[in-house]
Amino acid sequence: MRTKAHKRKVLKYVCLKIAALCGLAISLAALVSVIVFVLMRGLPYVNAQLLFGDYGKSPSIKPAFAGTMYLIVISIAIAAPVGIGSAIFLTEYTNSKSRLIKIIRVATETLAGIPSIVYGIFGYLVFVAALGLKYSLIGGGITLAVMILPVIVRSTEESLLAVPKSLREGSYALGSSKVRTIFSVVLPCAASGIVTSLILAVGRVISESAVLILTIGMVVNKMPENFASPGTSLALDVYYFGSHGYPEQAAATGAVLLVLVMSINALATVLGKIFGKGELVNG
Amino acid sequence: MDNKFNMTVKNCDLYYGDFHALKNVSMDIDEHEVTALIGPSGCGKSTFIRIFNRMNDLVEGCRVTGDIRIGGRNIFDKSTDVPLLRKNVGMVFQKPNPFPMSVYDNIAFAPRTFGMGGIKKRRELDAVVERSLKQAGLWDEVKDRLRKNAMGLSGGQQQRLCIARALAAEPKILLMDEPTSALDPISTGIIEDLINELKVNYTIVIVTHNMQQATRISDKTAFFLLGEVVEYGSTEEVFTKPQNKKTENYITGRFG
């Protein structure tokens, strides 16, 4: 009897292990094949004209680089302070059991799950049309800020909640005010998590396209002059080139975009590790 | 506050929501004495010392009644400057809780809160840091690594760092909540010696689960049970001829 039960256990273990390995193999294969395919199709067409040339006979993504930079600056400049501030308010200044906080939590989670095209139409109706920003980088940037806000709030909140209570107590016991405790103890401890979440938010801004189709005008052939100019972004260029008879450039831009997003994610991991050193490990 | 820092507690009751954690506690604690609080877990010792620096304010649903005075002043008065109170009444916690910053910044934390922030005060601050670390017997071990992260110190060193950090605020009273329970015997011995030195200048209230520790370091001992003070007197008397049967049972290890 015992050996039979034992055999079944071993069999079960082996089966589970094989199933897990298969799952891992499939997901890895999917990831690797996407990366390899995009790079193989795209990289041969990446050249100086595409990257840095002026937009003339042959397309260039220089305006898209500029536009993407504008969008990152605008959206992070708005979403980071508002998002981090809200997270501080939610974790440090409110009773976590109160009904209001629960409602706000549900609301942020719902916001995070809204399809980006819906943010796009919202941005178009509110910022582009009603507030008169016209098709512009600032209109798109603000819409992107609204889109990444819930993500920043959630992850900042989690980083703040991960700071041990004992550190807050230690600070208060030394006569610190709440503000000093938050700025001198809690925020530095949570810095790695917050920085990581901001970088991942930058990644989302770079890869977003649906919002921008409806808000920034998709002007692919002109360098934006300022925040109020219409413009384009890398992700939009992929769409534009692909649908306007430049499949090679679309593939090349896709490869550039992919490399950029992968480096941003790698940067987030590395920074998280550097900042995280020696933190929160007690004893 | 005036210059005296004796603590008097009269008819203190404390509630966490519906839970009656301290029941009609009265106790006078004199200056420059070490008072040990003993008793089984959950009897209210830690809750009791957290009254003196009003750390219980941070606990939701906590309510304190009674007359609690330090140096004759009611610390639950509306006019009490709570940060100043906490500066005067330092606290060391059960688990060492250094901030994840340099040794120097840890010690300089409270002085900077109370106006020693600028570059001009740099020398003054250096002096405070050195003096506090010397008082805590840690200077020789860390003087070459003041700029290193405090998380790299050993557990015993971290706890002495926390003591030095509390001392840097120049308190008059030091509350210690089982400061050695997470430490090895050698570190514990060092901290007990330290307490004996510190009592010349400070009034110390220490919560401990270690009976021997109470006899080694304290002048007075209070025995807590289920939120009440069962017995309070000189350590020698409490341990040699306890008045109450419950105290005797506890210190002889028959329960708790």
Structural domain boundaries in chain B: 7-251
CA distance A264 to chain B (A): 27
Residue A95: inside a domain: yes
Q: Report the candidate in B22, B40, B33 with the shortest Cα–Cα distance to residue B209.
A: B40
pLDDT, averaged across chain B:
90
Which residues in chain B have Cβ-Cβ distances shorter than 8 Å to A184? 109
SS3 of residue B99 by DSSP: coil
Share of chain B above pLDDT 90, in %: 66
Domain, as residue range, for A21: 2-45
Q: Is A279 on the interface with B (CB under 8 A)?
A: yes
Cα separations in angstroms, B99 against A9, B85, B119, B144, B182: 48, 21, 22, 19, 17
Residue A133: inside a domain: yes
Q: Is pLDDT of B116 > 80? A: no
Task: Please judge whether A175 and B91 are an interchain contact, meaning their C-beta atoms are less than 8 angstroms apart.
Answer: no
Please return the burial class of B125, using the count of CB atoms within 10 Å of its CB with bins 0-12, 13-18 and 19+: buried
**What are the pLDDT tens digits along chain A (283 aa)?**
568 888 899 999 999 999 999 999 999 999 999 999 999 999 998 888 888 888 777 888 888 899 999 999 999 999 999 999 999 998 888 876 788 888 888 888 888 889 999 999 999 999 999 998 889 999 999 999 999 999 999 999 999 999 999 999 999 999 999 999 999 999 999 988 899 899 989 999 999 999 999 999 888 888 888 888 898 999 999 999 889 888 888 999 999 999 999 999 898 888 877 776 544 443 3
Residue A283: inside a domain: no
Residue of A168, A169, A174, A180 for testing the chain B interface, max B β-carbons within 10 Å? A174
Residue A282: inside a domain: no
CA distance B169 to chain A (A): 7
Task: Answer yes or no: do A121 and A159 share one domain.
Answer: yes
Q: Which architecture, in CATH terms, is B7-251?
A: 3-Layer(aba) Sandwich (3.40)
SS3 of residue A114 by DSSP: coil
Task: Please judge whether B97 and A281 are an interchain contact, meaning their C-beta atoms are less than 8 angstroms apart.
Answer: no
Which residues in chain A have Cβ-Cβ distances shorter than 8 Å to B172? none
Res B3: pLDDT: 61
Count Cα atoms within 13 angstroms, Cβ side, for B150: 26
**How many Å separate Cα A276 from the centre of its chain?**
20
- pTM for the complete prediction? 0.82
User: Chain A 175-204, CB below 8 Å of chain B: which residues?
Assistant: 175-177, 180, 184-185, 188-189
Tell me, what CATH number does A86's domain have? 1.10.3720.10
Res B146: pLDDT: 93
Task: Answer yes or no: do A17 and A54 share one domain.
Answer: no
Cα separations in angstroms, B239 against B46, B213, B227: 21, 12, 20
